């Protein structure tokens, strides 16, 4: 079995959609914990769909 190398991985592992979803999840968690963060998703529905 070949040994995986960091250098053979593609430079970006996440698609733009996955990146947006990750950002929304982090912001939603901050909102949940802090209670006063600005949500950067276009609207609340998008944030819920992404999660």
- Is residue 19 predicted with pLDDT exceeding 80? yes
pTM of the model: 0.42
Residue 29 lies in a domain: yes
What range does the domain containing 46 cover? 13-50
Q: Are 37 and 27 in contact (CB under 8 A)?
A: yes
How many structural domains compose the chain? Answer: 1
**Integer Cα distance of 28 and 48 in angstroms:** 9
* Alpha helices (H) along 3-43: 16-34
**How confident is residue 49, by pLDDT bands cut at 50, 70 and 90?**
low
pLDDT in tens, 23-43: 888 888 877 776 554 555 656
Choice between 39 and 21, residue whose per-residue pLDDT is larger: 21
Q: Which one-letter DSSP state was computed for residue 37?
A: -
Quickly tell me which residue has 């959609």 as its tokens: 17
Q: Is residue 8, in this structure, part of any structural domain at all? A: no
């Amino acid at each position: 079995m070949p040994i995986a190398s960091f250098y053979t991985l593609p430079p970006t592992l996440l698609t733009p959609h996955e990146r947006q979803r990750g950002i929304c999840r982090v912001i939603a968690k901050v909102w949940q914990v802090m209670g006063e963060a600005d949500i950067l998703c276009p609207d609340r529905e998008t944030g819920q769909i992404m999660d």
